[in-house]
Structure formats: C-alpha cells, structure tokens
Amino acid sequence: MSANVRSLQRDRLRSIKERQHAAEAEVTRLTGLQRGLENLKEVTAQVGAWCGRAKTNLEHLTFDERRLMLEVLDVTVVVTPTKWEVKGSLPALAGDLQSYVTIERTSA
C-alpha cells in the first residue's frame, strides 16, 4: 500500500472514531434527559395526588393550617394594578440531589 492510501485510511479511521465518541456523548445526554422526564412524570403524579388530598381537606383547614400549606409550597403572590403572579416550589428528589419544581401562574 502506498503512503497516500495509508494516510487516507488513518484519516477515515480517525473520523469514524470522532463520530463514534460524539454519538456516545449524545446517547449519554439523551439518557440523562430521559431520566429527568421520568422523574418529572413521577413528581407530577405525586403533586396531583397531593393536590387532590389537599383539595379534599382544604375546607376543613384553619387559617393557620392554610398559611402553613402556602409556606411549605414556598408560595408568593405579587399583585399589581395590571396583573397578578403566583409562584411556588415543590421539592423533588433527583438522584442524590434535592431540586425544586417551580410552578408559576401569571395573569395576562
């Protein structure tokens, strides 16, 4: 084989290895996204169940218990003459780290 052919083969092999590494990195990234989506689905189900229980019991709660519920959810309300905004956070376990799912509603 000539030197040119060997050089072309090395270049092509290097290119294939680079694409392989890029594809492996993309698979790792997508796997992480998939885990995040699965965690979000689980959290969504838990939040839905919790909200259902809270809704059922809401009318029986005292003012202080309702206030405590808002504090637990880290709810803040901002009202201006033109709009209102409600924000809250729910703790969500993400692996070994604790993260928060933020819920926000704004009038438009």
- Express each pLDDT in 67-96 by its tens digit: 888 887 778 888 888 888 888 876 654 444
Least confident stretch, 11-20, 27-36, 59-68, 90-99 = 90-99
**Strand-by-strand arrangement of the 76-79 sheet:** 76-79, 84-94, 97-106
∠ Cα 49 83 104 (to 5°): 25
Longest CA span, the chain: 88
Phi, psi of 80 (to 5 degrees): -120, 170
pLDDT reported for residue 96: 43
Residue labelled with tokens 């990195």: 25
Least confident stretch, 25-29, 49-53, 64-68 = 49-53
User: What is the arithmetic mean of pLDDT over 54-62?
Assistant: 83
pLDDT reported for residue 94: 46
